[in-house]
Amino acid sequence: MVPLVQGQSLLWHAATRLEGLVPPKQQWICTGEQHRDLILADLPNFDGAHLIGEPCPRDTVNAVALTAAVLQLQDPDAVFAVLTADHLITPQDRFAQCIQQGLALVSESPNRMVTFGIEPTYPATGFGYVELDTPIAGHEPACRTARFVEKPSESVAAEYLATGRYKWNSGMFVFSASGFLQALEWFLPESAAGMATIAAAWNSDKRMEVLGEVYPTLPKVSVDYAIMEPASTDDRIDVCTVPMDVQWLDVGSWTAAGETIEPDPQQNRSFGPATHLDSKRVISVSDDPAHLIATLGCEDLVIVHTAKATLVCHADQVQRVKALHEMIDEPWR
C-alpha cells in the first residue's frame, strides 16, 4: 500500500513530490476555475498567478494544450512535465530522477514526447499500456515507444504482461510547448485553432471573455487518444517511454482509493462510520461522521455516501462511474 498522509489532499501530495525537483516559481496548475479558492487555500505558498483556470472541463488534451499555449507565451522554448494530482508515488527520489530524465530528453530534442511507464503487477483493464521499442542511446533505460493501447480486455492485458514489453501508461508526460502545439495542429486542428485564438487574447483585457467563448466549443477528448496514440506512429514525432520503477497508485477510481485504507480481516475497507457483518471486500466511504454505512452479507461492493448522492456498485463496475455521471442531471451533479 502506498502511504497516504491522513488529512492531506492528493493535490498536497502531488505538490510535495515536486520539492527539490521543480522550483516554486516554475510550478503551474491547470484546473477548473471554480476550484481556484480551494486550491489556493490548500497550497498557501502557491503563486495564484500560475493557476490556469478552465471555464469548463474539456478533457485532458485541452487542459494540456491550454497550459502549453500559456507557457509558450512566457518562453517559446518552454519544456514542461504534466503531472496529475490523483497519484500516490514513492520513493520521491526515484520519481524525481525519472522526471529529470524525461525533461532532459525533451530539452535535447523538442520534437520528442515522453511518457512514464509503470511496471504492471496484474492484467489491469482500467489503465492504458505502452509497448516499449528500442533503447535510446545515452538515455537508458528510456526506450522509444512502439504504440499506445487504451484499456484492453483482461485476456489481452494478460498477453501484454507475458511479453514483458508493456508498461502501464502512467498518464504523466513531458512535452515542449511548441512541439505539443504543433502536434495539436496535425491531429486535432479544431483545438489548435481555438488555442491560437485564446493565446492571442491571453495578455489582454479580453482574456476571460475569449476563454469563456472559445474553450467550451473545443472537442472533448483525452490527450492519450488525441495526441499520444497518433504520435506514436508518426515519423515526425519521437515518442519515448521512461520506465518509472516506483510504487505507484492511480487513485482515479474508488477501488484504487480503497487501497489507501487499511483493511479489516475480511478485506473490507472503510472511511467514515461503517459496520460490516459477514461481508467481504467492501469499500465504503462516507463524508458524514453522523451517517453509518452498514452491510450484511455483501461482497465486492463499492458504497460512497456524500451530502448530494449515494453510489452503490459492484467493484468491477467502478470504471463506468464517469458514464453514470454524464447521465445525471442537475441539480444532483
Q: Do the domain assignments include residue 49?
A: yes
Q: How confident is the model at residue 190 (pLDDT cuts 50, 70, 90)?
A: very high
Would you state the pLDDT for residue 149? Answer: 87
pLDDT bin (cut points 50, 70, 90) of residue 295 is very high
Q: Give the residue from 250, 279, 304 where a domain finishes.
A: 250
Based on the domain organization, do 237 and 274 belong to the same domain?
Answer: no
Structural domain range at position 322: 264-327
Predicted local confidence at residue 236, as pLDDT? 96
Last residue of a domain, one of 217, 250, 283: 250
* Residue-level pLDDT at 313: 95
* Beta bridge partners of residue 168, listed in sequence order: 118, 129
Global pTM? Answer: 0.86
User: So what's the pLDDT on residue 225?
Assistant: 92
pLDDT mean over 289-314: 95
If asked whether residues 282 and 245 sit together in one domain, one would say no
Q: Is residue 63 domain-shared with residue 189, that is, in the same domain?
A: yes
Report the DSSP beta bridge partners of residue 147: 131
Same domain, 163 and 269: no
Residue 69 lies in a domain: yes
Residues 224 and 320 in one domain: no
**Residue 193 belongs to a domain:** yes
* Domain-ending residue, one of 193, 227, 250: 250
Residue 214: which CATH number?
3.90.550.10
Burial 146-185 (b: 16+ CB within 10 A, else e): bebbeebeeeebeebbeeeebbbbbbbbbbbbbbbbbbbe
The answer to whether position 332 is within a domain reads no
Q: Give the mean pLDDT of 18-22.
A: 95
Q: Pick from 214, 176, 255: which is nearest to 56 by CA?
A: 214
Rounded mean pLDDT of 87-92? Answer: 92
Cell for 122? 496484474
Question: What is the average pLDDT score of the chain?
Answer: 93
Q: Are strands 269-271 and 283-286 parallel, antiparallel or unpaired?
A: parallel
The phi-psi region of residue 305 (left if phi > 0; otherwise alpha if psi is between -120 and 50; otherwise beta) is: beta
pLDDT value of position 318: 87
Residue 77 lies in a domain: yes
Residue 333 pLDDT: 54
- pLDDT of 1 > 60? The answer is no
**One domain for residues 123 and 235:** yes
Question: Are both 111 and 181 inside the same structural domain?
Answer: yes
Residues 117 and 163 in one domain: yes
- Give pLDDT, residue 118: 96
Asked if residue 1 is part of any domain, the answer here is no
Whole-number percent of the chain with pLDDT over 90: 81
Residues 238, 313, single domain; the answer is no
In this structure, are 142 and 230 located in the same domain?
yes
Three-class SS state of 73: helix
Q: Is residue 255 part of a domain?
A: no
Nearest to 311 by CA among 283, 280, 277: 283
For residues 177-193, average pLDDT: 98
Q: What is the pLDDT of residue 259?
A: 81
Mean pLDDT of 47-67: 97
Contact status, residue 18 vs residue 172, Cβ threshold 8 Å: no
Give the model's pLDDT for residue 6.
Answer: 65
In this structure, the answer to whether residues 145 and 223 fall within a common structural domain is: yes
Query: Do the domain assignments include residue 284?
Result: yes
Q: Which of 6-10, 169-173, 278-282 has the lowest mean pLDDT?
A: 6-10
Is the domain of 229 the same as that of 303? no
- Indicate the number of domains in the chain: 2
More confident residue, 88 or 197: 197
227-274, pLDDT tens digit by residue? 999 999 999 999 999 999 999 988 877 887 888 888 999 999 999 999
